[in-house]
């Protein structure tokens, strides 16, 4: 039995390698032994060992976001499998490819009180692109093993609903440790058993009739397509380009509008568009949908997900956004009316000047952190930004720069779970230095991500080739975690609860001030720390983040929550006053 199980697991791993998988995240556990050993035996895979299954899932999401390739996550049975649910939900909603493998007891141990035995086959419900429960391996089924491994990769990267998580629930019988026998024959030349070819884009059809000569703008979010295509389309149409930092399009240029949220709050009729072309994911801003209400919205949604909470899209193109932009640029289109673009350019210039002037007298605060990040980090860096306030601050206040860093966020389900783990996973991909920006609550929520991160221990977020000399260890990984510490749930100070509830009740249920110390908690886990209290100290930490290897936590001491709300209010008021002048 152990030989059959070992051969089955080795066959799956071989197909994953053939299919382009380069990373595997493994959590210690007994029942998953056959698969863990098979993963460790392959030098082509970077092996990442994590203690906490919940953090391991988000670590894998960081790898997938940074590389675009599906990592494998391997955990044991029972609650270990259930711990992956949050990352599976996030991967599902944000279309992140990941292969989730949960070990399980064989059928004869179900329903009889065997330890660590729960119903796992449909554990993640509709949040997976595809799932399979092949049962305990038997030699007679060896002809199906390669198909199972190859299909799991294909479903994760090229399913009909777009990339996303797949779930393999793998039952193993004791004895669990063994050596594999000869593997079933694979395709010649190292090809995967199955391969899904992408749809051709040559047949993209666009009708520019509704866009010709219109007062229009492009709203670019995450997944909007290549920046060159999107920026080129804005130039072709003569429209303003409103670019979320996650779009990678917030590049300095005559069509760029980075202060879109601040401008939208003013509700100026002379800037209201007739047509909005929406590429990529929705923005976080609540001011923009209100300001754009009444415009004709053309959405590009390649996966037919109906991501349109306002139900504003009159036309939906089911095509790749980059291909759509390139196809539209091939059509001659009359420009927007005279003064349309220049009006937005004036508004953008005045808003940016007002934000800079306001922050010059505020000192270190949350908007200043967002303002500094793109200006001080190189294009090869990656910013992993938490939901709640950090992602809003970056969207509202990050300026356009010539070469912005890549920005990633877990905005599928918009939770604050696993942010540090996601950042460490992105850093372990080897694609460049990573800076994570998160609040104190998100930091403590994922504190276990730092176990072993200070060096030593099997859970250190190193990137090692199994059974081969390590290429990179934790010391070569560069990840700086900026903890913007405002003393609790800062976003709630900007919500109606802050003014409608008695203060003690608000503090208990929503403010949730923490007595734990960020620096001491990180130092206690052996991680290098810094305490940032001035803008110059912040600049020093950000410059070091892109040049110094290692993992470090920097607490950024900003005004407490009520003061932070006041800072935001003063900045918005300054922009409004600049516009009135």
Residue 487 has pLDDT above 90, yes or no: no
Cα angle at 309 between 156 and 325, to 5 degrees? 65
The rounded distance, in Å, linking the Cα atoms of 158 and 180 is 30
What is the third-level CATH fold of 361-465+473-580?
Answer: Rossmann fold (3.40.50)
Question: What CA–CA distances, in Å, run from 387 to 242, 365, 437?
Answer: 20, 17, 9
At residue 200, what are phi and psi to the nearest 5 degrees?
A: -65, 150
Residue with tokens 């949908």: 289
Q: Give CA torsion, residues 14, 424, 432, 410, to 10 deg.
A: 90
Mean pLDDT over all residues of the chain? 91
Residue 55 has pLDDT above 80, yes or no: yes
DSSP 8-state secondary structure symbol assigned to residue 530: E
Domains 208-347 and 361-465+473-580 share a fold: yes
What is the third-level CATH fold of 208-347?
Answer: Rossmann fold (3.40.50)
pLDDT given for residue 142 in this prediction? 95
Nearest to 222 by CA among 244, 199, 200, 251: 244
- Report the Cα–Cα distance between both ends of the chain, in Å, rounded: 80
Residue 491 has pLDDT above 60, yes or no: yes
pLDDT band at 160 (very low <50, low <70, confident <90, very high): confident
pLDDT given for residue 524 in this prediction? 95
pLDDT given for residue 452 in this prediction? 85
pLDDT band at 201 (very low <50, low <70, confident <90, very high): low
Contact (Cβ atoms closer than 8 angstroms) between residue 512 and residue 416: no
Residue with tokens 């749930």: 489
Residue 122 has pLDDT above 70, yes or no: yes
Mind spelling out the 3-state secondary structure of 185-220?
Answer: CCCHHHCCCCCCCCCCCCCCCCCHHHHCCCCEEEEE
Residue 390 has pLDDT above 50, yes or no: yes
Class at the top of the CATH hierarchy for domain 2-171: alpha beta
Residue 462 has pLDDT above 70, yes or no: no
Residue 475 has pLDDT above 80, yes or no: no
Residue 489 has pLDDT above 80, yes or no: yes
What is the token pair recorded at 314? Answer: 């009159």
DSSP string across 300-340: E-TT-----TT--EEEEE-S-HHHHHHHHHTS--PPPPTTH
pLDDT given for residue 464 in this prediction? 46
Which strands form 406-409's sheet, in the order they lie side by side? Answer: 406-409, 382-385, 434-439, 478-485, 550-557, 528-532
What is the token pair recorded at 553? Answer: 């936590």
**H or E element at residue 520:** helix 518-524
Number of neighbours of residue 43 by Cβ within 10 angstroms: 13
Question: What CA–CA distances, in Å, run from 111 to 75, 107, 115, 117, 131?
Answer: 21, 9, 11, 8, 22
What is the token pair recorded at 568? Answer: 């935001």
Q: What is the mean pLDDT of residues 302-311?
A: 81
The rounded distance, in Å, linking the Cα atoms of 339 and 324 is 27
pLDDT band at 199 (very low <50, low <70, confident <90, very high): low
Question: What CA–CA distances, in Å, run from 161 to 97, 128, 199, 304?
Answer: 11, 10, 13, 7
* Cβ neighbourhood burial of 528 (10 Å; 0-12, 13-18, 19+): middle
Residue 433 has pLDDT above 50, yes or no: yes
DSSP 8-state secondary structure symbol assigned to residue 95: T
Residue 69 has pLDDT above 50, yes or no: yes
pLDDT given for residue 579 in this prediction? 85
The rounded distance, in Å, linking the Cα atoms of 551 and 573 is 38
DSSP 8-state secondary structure symbol assigned to residue 417: T
DSSP 8-state secondary structure symbol assigned to residue 491: G
Q: What is the mean pLDDT of residues 43-58?
A: 96
At residue 95, what are phi and psi to the nearest 5 degrees?
A: 55, 55
Contact (Cβ atoms closer than 8 angstroms) between residue 443 and residue 488: no
Lowest mean pLDDT among 4-18, 74-88, 481-495: 481-495
Q: What is the mean pLDDT of residues 1-6?
A: 90
Residue 57 has pLDDT above 70, yes or no: yes
pTM of this structure = 0.92
pLDDT given for residue 455 in this prediction? 60
Q: What is the mean pLDDT of residues 135-158?
A: 95
Q: Output the CA torsion sign for 439, 441, 442, 446.
A: positive
Q: Give CA torsion, residues 466, 468, 471, 477, to 10 deg.
A: 30
The rounded distance, in Å, linking the Cα atoms of 345 and 234 is 13
Residue 516 exposure: Cα atoms within 13 Å on the Cβ side: 15
Q: What is the mean pLDDT of residues 102-111?
A: 94
Lowest mean pLDDT among 203-207, 399-403, 543-547, 553-557: 203-207
Bigger pLDDT: 468 vs 408: 408
Locate the domains of the chain by residue range: 2-171, 208-347, 361-465+473-580
The rounded distance, in Å, linking the Cα atoms of 446 and 427 is 16
Contact (Cβ atoms closer than 8 angstroms) between residue 532 and residue 484: no
pLDDT band at 200 (very low <50, low <70, confident <90, very high): low
Lowest mean pLDDT among 4-18, 46-60, 229-243, 286-300: 286-300
Mind spelling out the 3-state secondary structure of 255-272?
Answer: CEECCHHHHHCCCCHHHC
Residue 366 has pLDDT above 70, yes or no: yes
Nearest to 115 by CA among 77, 80, 172: 77
At residue 213, what are phi and psi to the nearest 5 degrees?
A: 65, 15
């Amino acid at each position: 039995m152990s030989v059959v199980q070992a051969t089955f697991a080795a066959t799956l791993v071989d197909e994953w390698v053939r299919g382009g998988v380069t990373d595997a995240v493994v959590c210690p556990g007994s029942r998953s032994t056959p698969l863990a050993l098979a993963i460790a035996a392959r030098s082509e895979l970077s092996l990442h060992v994590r203690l906490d299954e919940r953090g391991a899932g988000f670590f894998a999401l960081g790898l997938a976001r940074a590389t675009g390739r599906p990592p494998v996550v391997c955990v044991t049975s029972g609650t270990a499998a259930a711990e992956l649910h949050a990352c599976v939900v996030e991967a599902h909603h944000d279309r992140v490819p990941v292969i989730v493998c949960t070990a399980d007891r064989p059928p004869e141990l179900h329903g009889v009180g065997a330890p660590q035995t729960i119903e796992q086959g449909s554990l993640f419900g509709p949040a997976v692109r595809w799932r399979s429960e092949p049962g305990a391996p038997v030699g007679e089924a060896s002809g199906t093993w390669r198909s199972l491994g190859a299909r799991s990769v294909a479903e994760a990267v090229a399913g009909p609903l777009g990339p996303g998580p797949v779930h393999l629930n793998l039952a193993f019988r004791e004895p669990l440790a063994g050596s594999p026998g000869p593997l079933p024959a694979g395709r010649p030349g190292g090809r995967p058993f199955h391969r899904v070819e992408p749809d051709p884009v040559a047949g993209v059809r666009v009708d520019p009739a509704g866009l010709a000569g219109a007062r229009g703008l492009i709203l670019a979010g995450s997944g909007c397509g290549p920046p060159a295509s999107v920026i080129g389309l804005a130039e072709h149409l003569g429209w303003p380009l409103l670019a979320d930092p996650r779009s990678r399009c917030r590049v300095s240029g005559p069509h760029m509008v980075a202060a879109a949220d601040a401008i939208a709050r003013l509700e100026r009729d002379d800037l209201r568009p007739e047509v909005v072309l929406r590429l990529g994911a929705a923005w976080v801003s609540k001011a923009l949908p209100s300001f754009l209400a009444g415009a004709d919205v053309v959405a590009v949604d390649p996966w037919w997900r109906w991501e349109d909470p306002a139900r504003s899209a009159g036309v939906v193109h089911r095509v790749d956004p980059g291909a759509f932009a390139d196809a539209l640029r091939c059509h001659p289109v009359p420009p927007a009316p005279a003064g349309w673009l220049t009006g937005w350019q004036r508004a953008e210039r005045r808003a940016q000047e007002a934000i800079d002037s306001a922050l010059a007298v505020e000192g270190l605060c949350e908007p200043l952190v967002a303002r500094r990040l793109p200006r001080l980090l190189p294009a090869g860096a990656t910013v992993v930004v938490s939901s709640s306030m950090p992602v809003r601050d970056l969207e509202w206040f990050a300026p356009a720069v010539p070469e912005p860093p890549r920005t990633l966020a877990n905005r599928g389900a918009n939770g604050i779970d696993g942010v540090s783990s996601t950042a460490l996973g992105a850093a372990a991909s080897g694609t460049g230095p990573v800076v994570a920006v998160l609040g104190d609550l998100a930091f403590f929520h994922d504190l276990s991500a730092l176990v072993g991160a200070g060096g030593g221990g099997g859970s250190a977020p190193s990137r090692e080739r199994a059974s081969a000399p390590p290429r990179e260890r934790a010391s070569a990984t560069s990840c700086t975690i900026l903890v913007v510490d405002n003393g609790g749930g800062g976003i709630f100070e900007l919500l109606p609860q802050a003014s409608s509830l008695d203060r003690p009740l608000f503090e208990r249920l929503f403010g949730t001030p923490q007595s734990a110390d960020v620096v001491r908690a990180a130092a206690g886990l052996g991680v290098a720390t810094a305490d940032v209290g001035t803008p110059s100290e912040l600049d020093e930490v950000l410059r070091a983040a892109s040049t110094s290897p290692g993992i470090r936590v920097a607490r950024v001491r900003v005004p407490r929550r009520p003061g932070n709300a006041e800072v935001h209010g003063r900045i918005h008021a300054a922009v409004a006053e600049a516009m009135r002048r």
